[in-house]
Amino acid sequence: MTSSAQDARHLATLTTERVDERYHDLDRRSTLEVLTALNDAEAQVPLAVRAVLPELALLVDATARRLRAGGRLVYVGAGTSGRLGVLDAAECPPTFHVAPETVTGVIAGGPAAVFASVEAAEDSAEAGAAEMTDLAVGAGDTVVGIAASGRTPFVLGAVRAARAAGALTAAISCNTGSPLAAQVDHPLEVEVGPEVIAGSTRLKAGSATKQLLNMLSTAVMVRNGKTYQNLMVDLTISNGKLRDRGERLLVRITGCSRQDAATALRAAGDRVPVAAVMLVHEVDPGRADDLLAAADGHLAQVIDPA
């Protein structure tokens, strides 16, 4: 049996590739019935994700420590998995005021694959390894391989190279006992079961992946002081809507007037945490920055320490 035939035979055994007979008549159902089937299937995803939360918590804490020391969080995937990683990475700088390189998404086929399918790109383990070399991945970084099947060569190559370079490694997959899970420090195997449309892992598997990526990056940022209470205080002020949000946050946190909030925010270089410290402690921006730095950026420790 050829290698490609063996791969195809193995692929057919994966849970994410199985046919769910409950939906054998999907193409004959009414539109509402199709939508109901999809919605019912999606309702299973949060329960599947909950099962891996203990492992995710370990990954969050380890990644937060690395980011505090100047490391990076790198997502690697192909197709839908890669696009979800790129999306989560792109949302971190405006949401949490981190540098673009702090959370990075790598997709097989390069940036063009975000918008158009480059399916064959996922078959090269060497290309995945080369991406890690190009990024100079090292011991301070966390690399998360994303593959619903748990067997994508591009992702496997990247994770192996990252681990050899000393990086912390993790995997998100939707099949148990996968080759990818066996290669990493923190395997997150989410059993979502067969898809409503067999093999279309942009459905339940995609939803599970997005949930885990959102939870990972968000919890890391919470651990690293990017929120105050449950408020997104360290946002990047880049338009009128976000300026309005920043001013409202300052009013809520400090009890100041809207005018004082606007003045302080501009004086603070549009950094809400700095402006909050200025208002609470009546200090200049430089002193506010120093106080935040001494608290590793945790606003609560500066303005309302226990």
| Each residue's pLDDT tens digit, 122-175 | 999 999 999 999 999 999 999 999 999 999 999 999 999 999 999 999 999 999
Q: What's the maximum distance between 2 C-alpha atoms anywhere in the chain?
A: 75
Determine which one of 119, 122, 131, 195 is catalytic.
122
Is 122 tagged catalytic?
A: yes
Percent of the chain with pLDDT over 90: 90
Torsion, Cα 282 285 291 292, to 10 degrees, reads: 120
Is 91 tagged catalytic?
A: yes
User: Hey, what domains does the chain have and what are their CATH numbers?
Assistant: 11-223 (3.40.50.10490), 240-303 (1.10.8.1080)
pTM, 2 dp: 0.91
Q: Mean pLDDT across the stretch 195-206?
A: 92
Structural contact between residues 38 and 203, judged by C-beta atoms closer than 8 angstroms? yes
Question: pLDDT grade, residue 1 (50/70/90)?
Answer: very low
Question: Tokens 């966390």 map to which residue?
Answer: 142
Determine which one of 42, 55, 91, 191 is catalytic.
91
Rounded distance between C-alpha atoms, residue 36 and residue 51, angstroms: 25
Token pair for 283 = 């200090």
Question: Tokens 């099962």 map to which residue?
Answer: 51
| Each residue's pLDDT tens digit, 247-287 | 999 999 999 999 999 999 999 999 999 999 999 999 999 99
Token pair for 265 = 């925010």
Q: Of 55, 138, 141, give the one whose Cα is nearest residue 102.
A: 141
| Each residue's pLDDT tens digit, 11-57 | 667 888 888 999 999 999 999 999 999 999 999 999 999 999 999 99
Burial class (CB in 10 A: 0-12, 13-18, 19+), 295: middle
Q: Mean pLDDT across the stretch 195-208?
A: 93
* Side-chain half-sphere exposure of 31, counting CA atoms within 13 A: 0
Q: Mean pLDDT across the stretch 99-105?
A: 97
3-state SS string for 35-77 = HHHHHHHHCCHHHHHHCCHHHHHHHHHHHHHHHHCCCCEEEEE
Q: Looking at residue 97, what is its pLDDT?
A: 92
Question: pLDDT grade, residue 2 (50/70/90)?
Answer: very low
